[in-house]
Amino acid sequence: MSLQYAIMEIGKIDMFGPRGWYIEKEDDFMPNKEMTDMLESFYETGKKAKCVSLNESGLTIDDYYLATKRFLAAQVKGNYAFRKAVWANPLPSSKYSQGDLTYLTNGVRGAGDYKVNWLGWESTDFSVGVDLGTPVMASTIEISTLYDPKSWILHPLSIRCFVSEDGQIYSLIENKTVQGNQQEEPITRTFTFNTSGKRYQFIKFDISGSLRLFDWHPSAGGGSWVFTDEIVVK
C-alpha cells in the first residue's frame, strides 16, 4: 500500500503530466485508467486490512478515497476559468503549492491533504480575482475551501463574489456566510454563485476568515488559516 500511496500522491503534483492522473486526448483530458484502478485497489486493500489512518493527521482510508475522487473531478471542459490569469491581494503563503496562483485555475480540485493543490492565507482577509480573457455569459461561479482544524485550517466566515465587464466597475453577486463556531464542518465547502443573465470578464472574491481559532480549539487564539482551491466558471 505504501508504494501505491506514494505513486498516487506524486501523480497529484502534476495531474496532467506523464505520471499524472489524466491523459490529454482530442483537446480534452481523460482519466488515466492505470491510476484510477490503483486507487480502487488501494481502497479495497485498506478496507480489508482495517487501516485506521494514513498519516499523522489521522486521515482515514474513507476520507482519502472520497477526497481523491473529488480531486479527480477535473474542471476542464466548459470551464471558462480554466488556465486563466489569477491575482490575489495579499499573496498566499509560499509554504503550500509554492504559493502558485495558477493552481486556482488549473482544472483540479484540491485533495483532502492541504498540501496538494490548495493555497493558504494565515490570519488575514484577502481578495482573489480572475480575468477570463473575454466577456462571457455564464450561469455559475464556484470556489471551494478546506476544513482541517487539527492543522489550524477553518472555512472562511464569508465570501463575497463580484463580477465586472470592464475590470473597473464591479457588481456584487452575493455574500455567502458560514454560521456558527465551526466545531463540526464538512472537509470541503463549495460556494456557488448564480450569475445567470450576467455578462462579465472579471471576477473578484473578497474572503473574510476567522483570523483566530475559536475557543473550542486546543490552540484557541492562535492564528487560523483559510485554504482555497479551484475557481470554476460555467
Domain shared by 93 and 174, yes or no: yes
Q: Is residue 150 part of a domain?
A: yes
CA distance 40 to 45: 9
Q: Does the residue 76 lie in any domain? A: no
Within this chain, do residues 24 and 55 fall inside the same structural domain, yes or no?
yes
Query: Distance between CA atoms of 118 and 145, rounded to whole angstroms?
Result: 9
Q: In terms of pLDDT, which residue wins out, 120 or 46?
A: 120
- Contact (CB, 8 A) for 173 and 162: yes
Report the percentage of the chain scoring pLDDT > 70.
96
Whether 15 and 67 share a structural domain = yes
Find the domain containing 192 and state its range. 85-233
Judge if pTM exceeds 0.85. Answer: no
Listed range (16-20, 27-31, 88-92) with the worst mean pLDDT: 27-31
- What is the tens place of the pLDDT at every residue in 89-134? 999 999 999 999 999 998 888 777 788 789 999 999 999 999 999 9
Does residue 32 belong to any structural domain of this protein?
yes
Rounded CA-CA distance 118/12 in Å is 12
Whether residue 64 sits in one domain with residue 92: no
Total number of domains in the chain: 2
pLDDT, position 164: 98
Of 223, 205, 210, 208, the C-alpha closest to 183 is 210
CATH number at residue 226: 2.60.120.1190
Residues 209, 105 share a domain: yes
Residue count (the chain): 234
- Residue corresponding to grid cell 470578464: 201
In terms of pLDDT, which residue wins out, 80 or 109?
A: 80
Model confidence at 51, pLDDT cuts 50, 70, 90, reads confident
Does a structural domain hold residue 154?
yes
d(CA 186, CA 119): 18
Radius of gyration from C-alpha coordinates of the chain? 18
Helix and strand element counts for the chain (H, E): 3, 12
Per-residue cell: 7: 505513486
Q: What is the pLDDT of residue 208?
A: 98
Question: Are residues 154 and 207 part of one domain?
Answer: yes
* pLDDT score, position 19: 84
Q: How confident is the model at residue 48 (pLDDT cuts 50, 70, 90)?
A: confident
Instruction: Quick: pLDDT tens for 172-230.
Output: 999 999 999 999 999 899 999 999 999 999 999 999 999 999 999 999 999 999 999 99
Sign of the CA dihedral with 193 first, then 69, 33, and 3 last: positive
Domain assignment present for residue 78? The answer is no
Q: Based on the number of CB atoms within 10 Å of its own CB, is 15 exposed (0-12), middle (13-18) or buried (19 or more)?
A: buried
When pLDDT is cut at 50, 70 and 90, the band that residue 56 belongs to is: low
Say yes or no: 62 and 98 in one domain.
no
Q: Span 42-65, mean pLDDT?
A: 81
What is the identity of the amino acid at 203?
Answer: I
194 touches 173 (CB < 8 A): yes
Q: Looking at residue 78, what is its pLDDT?
A: 86
* Cβ atoms of 191 and 176 closer than 8 Å: yes
Do residues 182 and 204 both lie within one domain? yes
